[in-house]
Structure 1
Amino acid sequence: MVYTASCRTMNFEGLVLAGIFLATQHGAAFGQHRYSEAAQPSHNTPFSPDASLVRLKDLARKFDVFIGTASNAQYIRRDKEYVRILNEQFSLVTPENACKWTAIRPNEETFDFTDCDFVLAMAEANQQTVRGHNLCWGIHNPDWLAKYDKNSSALRSLLVDHITRVGKRYAGRVYSWDFVNEAVLKPTENGTYLKTNVWYPAIPDIIDLAFKTIHSIDRSAKLFYNDYGYEVINSKSDAIHRMVKTMLLNNVPVHGIGMEAHFFIHNDDGSHTEERLIDGDHKLGSPVPADWSSVEDNFRRFIDLGLEIHITEMDVSIPSITKYFLEKQADVYRNLLKICLKFAPMCKSFETWEFVDKYSWRTGEPDYFDDNYKPKPCFFAVADTLNTTVPVTNG
């Protein structure tokens, strides 16, 4: 269940949020945003420049699928255009950084929920569903956590306490959690499929412990394992499939998988500016699948386990802003969405990690809107796919 502002007691910050929400609608009612000639996509589209800009979330309703995005507290506070498009286009919102350990736990003694509360309240005021991100990750943790390295009992206690405190605060307000994030190796090494980090192997049952703890606190939330680089059938997706299948056999409450879908498009010579690594093996994107049928087959085998699939962090980085690469970028959005809709509503969410290029964590203009909030061909590719695809009916 997701609460709206109308069924919550409004404190001062809630009143401020409501003011922001109403201000963004003044002079720009839903469905009435028009785009200029300069904002036309570089390819043919069924949406005329004289028509109102369509809302993706409305087009997706017939599939019972969320159109989502990550959103950032600092951008909400300072950028009205960001808020307006966020509210108009998206039915699901994930706090980009505000609910991570680094934001909530600045020191061992303090829980700071300021930004996490802020993003949730803004989403609730706009009647958007909230996806939580994340409660257990091996990197981007606060520096103080490192002093407990290899201290199994202390780390176990800290993790359970953190999950309990955060889980209770947002119980009933978060539809789903990217609960454990990016824990699986690529490729598998040393006879295990889990990365070595502050949590593992100090807590050998880290995955099961985390999922069981949050489920005991909030049985309404759907719990997801979230990772990158396993959109196709490969060694990493094989490892994740084995892991979640084992979890299900052991009655661990896992409800779905999150596929991040960070992609990059190569230059014709094979070069790309974003092949540097972070966290050892973490490329800032995966190459575009050479065979989209492998993506479809991969979806099918997870869904056959009874799991939902959410596209959680999609973006597509291109090497240059040209008509050619913008259209290739649009094709990637279109192809992945078509596969998701084929399995809808078991593929339940199609979400980008931010939606405007100037605020992306990546270079390469990866999002729906350019730096000036003009919609790009990938936006219209998604709109056209939602508009023209006929929902699959069982039986």
Structure 2
Amino acid sequence: MSQPESLPQRQRSARWGSWDIPLCDQQQAALTGRQIWVEHLNSNFLCGTCVGKTLLADNAHGERQRSAVRAWFPLLVCENAMKWYATEAQQDVLDFTPADRLLDWAEAEGRRMRGHCLFWDKGKFCCDWVHDLDPASLRTRISLHLERILSRYRGRVRDWDVLNEILDGGFMAARLGEDGPAWIFRKAAALDPNLRLFTNEYGILDSDEKTERYYALIQQLLDAGAPVGGIGIQEHAAERFVPDAQQAALEADRPERQGRGPLIPDEIWRRLDRLASTGLPIHITEISIASEDKQRAGNCMELLLDTMYAHPAVECVLFWGFEGRSHWLGELAALIDPQGRPYPAMAKLSDWQRQRITPAHSLVSNDHGIIRLEGWCGRYRIRDEASGAEACITLEQHDQLRTATTLPSTP
């Protein structure tokens, strides 16, 4: 019987590639015997954070947040600004300004924005005026909200959490009927077929039972014609990460556990495998690591990132804030101190990101104009050192590059 892969082995199996890259000039002539400089620009596995209005504050607090985002987070999501209760707190009184400003800033800084969330399936997060609608009127207002927000951000926001926390909600199904959630997905896709539409649930990573319910929900939606495009998973108690069951038993009485189960990589991979069997990508959408022991939080950060990076279906990890004054769990879950200096968890994140970038190096193309590149998946810049001609190429693990990459002549 073969031994299970170690954590580093799993990461290489999921994210490391070896590619034969044919190179040519603008006349399609093979570039043979050329010294080629290869630079890994960014990973295809993104780390991100939620942001709010304090990000744009014209003060030292806002500048500290902006500096942190520039340093560590290429992916952003609005914590509240795109939610229905924020954009239409009163019926037909619209306010997209906070969301607009955050998206404008993200784009100006070269950051990508996820959409969160079109609807929240818990009644306590729905406006009073929404509760007052009869089923027919609710359908009309849902359709109108989708038309407004999806047209406003068309082409700028690609991924949306559609109906947040269905498993512990039920607002839409209770008012629209069993098909209500699937109808919302179908309606959103009809308005913009280019979107990836996500579910988003919590309590998954530590529970086989809830994982099975989540799998069943996704299958139910798909069977009803809902074009589900991805699976979102939240975990707001990631301070429970431990490497194995033996360590979990030793830590059963720690305050971070509070009577809850541990988060163990082998068990998490099994649950992710179950959800990934749908063929859908997975986003870890909302992560919090809350512990008074900042060194422990750093260890949990590293294990969290290693675990998710080692699963090929996981595309990204987003933290639900990083700074104590703005985090919903306060200073306990902060990744930077009040002066903007990284706590151990943020230092671990920074080191981890650097280690997932293949070091820049030089290669020589063979007699067919091909270079053999080995490294972590992501986006690379390839430059002919003699002419300075260059091109950028995105490499996924199993890409087979049969078409030559053209290195255009420099002006």
TM, length-normalised to structure 2: 0.69
Give the structure 2 partner of residue 216 of structure 1.
190
| CA spacing shift, 1:218–1:60, aligned 2, 3 Å | farther
For the 8 Å contact 1:62–1:391, the answer to whether it is kept is no
User: Cα distance, 1:74 vs. partner?
Assistant: 3.4
Give the structure 1 partner of residue 327 of structure 2.
360
Is residue 316 from structure 1 mapped to residue 284 from structure 2 by the alignment? Answer: no
- For the residues of structure 1 that align with 2:95 and 2:340, how far apart are their CA atoms? 32
Is residue 384 from structure 1 mapped to residue 384 from structure 2 by the alignment? Answer: no
Is residue 73 from structure 1 mapped to residue 49 from structure 2 by the alignment? Answer: no
| CA spacing shift, 1:339–1:131, aligned 2, 3 Å | same
Listed one character per residue, the Cα deviations across residues 79-133 of structure 1 (whole Å, up to 9, x for unaligned) are: 1221222233211110111111121002112221111111111111112111011
- For the residues of structure 1 that align with 2:298 and 2:261, how far apart are their CA atoms? 12
Is residue 133 from structure 1 mapped to residue 133 from structure 2 by the alignment? Answer: no
What letter matches 1:331 in structure 2? N
Q: Secondary structure of the equivalent of 1:257? A: strand
Give the structure 1 partner of residue 68 of structure 2.
85
What letter matches 1:67 in structure 2? C
Aligned identity (percent) is 24
Listed one character per residue, the Cα deviations across residues 280-326 of structure 1 (whole Å, up to 9, x for unaligned) are: xxxxxx946343211111112222211111111111111x2xxxx22
For the 8 Å contact 1:60–1:67, the answer to whether it is kept is no
Listed one character per residue, the Cα deviations across residues 35-64 of structure 1 (whole Å, up to 9, x for unaligned) are: xxxxxxxxxxxxxxxxxxxxxxxx996540
Is residue 202 from structure 1 mapped to residue 175 from structure 2 by the alignment? Answer: yes
| CA spacing shift, 1:353–1:60, aligned 2, 3 Å | farther
Given candidates 299, 303, 327, the residue that maps to 1:331 is: 299
1:342-357 equivalences in 2 (<5 Å): 342-344=310-312, 346-357=313-324
Give the structure 2 partner of residue 156 of structure 1.
139
Give the structure 2 partner of residue 166 of structure 1.
149
1:33-48 equivalences in 2 (<5 Å): none
1:365-376 equivalences in 2 (<5 Å): 365-376=332-343
Given candidates 195, 202, 208, the residue that maps to 1:234 is: 208
For the 8 Å contact 1:225–1:258, the answer to whether it is kept is yes
What letter matches 1:112 in structure 2? D
| CA spacing shift, 1:214–1:196, aligned 2, 3 Å | closer
Name the larger-Rg structure. 2
For the 8 Å contact 1:68–1:349, the answer to whether it is kept is yes
Q: Secondary structure of the equivalent of 2:125? A: coil
Is residue 95 from structure 1 mapped to residue 82 from structure 2 by the alignment? Answer: no
- For the residues of structure 2 that align with 1:222 and 1:125, how far apart are their CA atoms? 23
What letter matches 2:281 in structure 1? E
| CA spacing shift, 1:62–1:114, aligned 2, 3 Å | closer
For the 8 Å contact 2:325–2:331, the answer to whether it is kept is no
Is residue 301 from structure 1 mapped to residue 278 from structure 2 by the alignment? Answer: no
Is residue 263 from structure 1 mapped to residue 237 from structure 2 by the alignment? Answer: yes
After superposing the two structures, state which structure 1 stretch, 138-147 or 385-394, moved more: 385-394
Q: Secondary structure of the equivalent of 1:67? A: strand
Given candidates 309, 312, 315, the residue that maps to 1:341 is: 309
- For the residues of structure 2 that align with 1:81 and 1:384, how far apart are their CA atoms? 20
TM, length-normalised to structure 1: 0.71
- For the residues of structure 1 that align with 2:52 and 2:173, how far apart are their CA atoms? 29
User: Cα distance, 1:327 vs. partner?
Assistant: 2.5
| CA spacing shift, 1:61–1:219, aligned 2, 3 Å | farther
| CA spacing shift, 1:62–1:339, aligned 2, 3 Å | farther
For the 8 Å contact 1:311–1:351, the answer to whether it is kept is yes
The count of aligned residue pairs is 308
- For the residues of structure 2 that align with 1:375 and 1:93, how far apart are their CA atoms? 19
Listed one character per residue, the Cα deviations across residues 190-231 of structure 1 (whole Å, up to 9, x for unaligned) are: xxxxx343x231112222111111111122221110111111
For the 8 Å contact 1:164–1:213, the answer to whether it is kept is no
What letter matches 1:174 in structure 2? V
- For the residues of structure 1 that align with 2:195 and 2:339, how far apart are their CA atoms? 36
What letter matches 2:50 in structure 1? A
Given candidates 141, 161, 164, the residue that maps to 1:181 is: 164
The higher relative CO (CA closer than 8 Å, separation ≥ 6) is in 2
- For the residues of structure 2 that align with 1:364 and 1:236, how far apart are their CA atoms? 30
Is residue 120 from structure 1 mapped to residue 103 from structure 2 by the alignment? Answer: yes
**Higher strand proportion:** 2
- Provide structure 1 residue ranges, at least 5 long, that are not aligned to the other structure: 1-58, 186-194, 276-285
What letter matches 1:361 in structure 2? W
For the 8 Å contact 1:212–1:253, the answer to whether it is kept is yes
User: Cα distance, 1:156 vs. partner?
Assistant: 1.5
User: Cα distance, 1:381 vs. partner?
Assistant: 2.2
Listed one character per residue, the Cα deviations across residues 236-273 of structure 1 (whole Å, up to 9, x for unaligned) are: 2211111112323444211111111111648974556x
What letter matches 2:187 in structure 1? T
Q: Secondary structure of the equivalent of 1:123? A: helix
| CA spacing shift, 1:94–1:180, aligned 2, 3 Å | same
Structural RMSD (CA): 2.6
Is residue 289 from structure 1 mapped to residue 262 from structure 2 by the alignment? Answer: yes
User: Cα distance, 1:382 vs. partner?
Assistant: 2.4
| CA spacing shift, 1:215–1:316, aligned 2, 3 Å | same
What letter matches 1:347 in structure 2? V
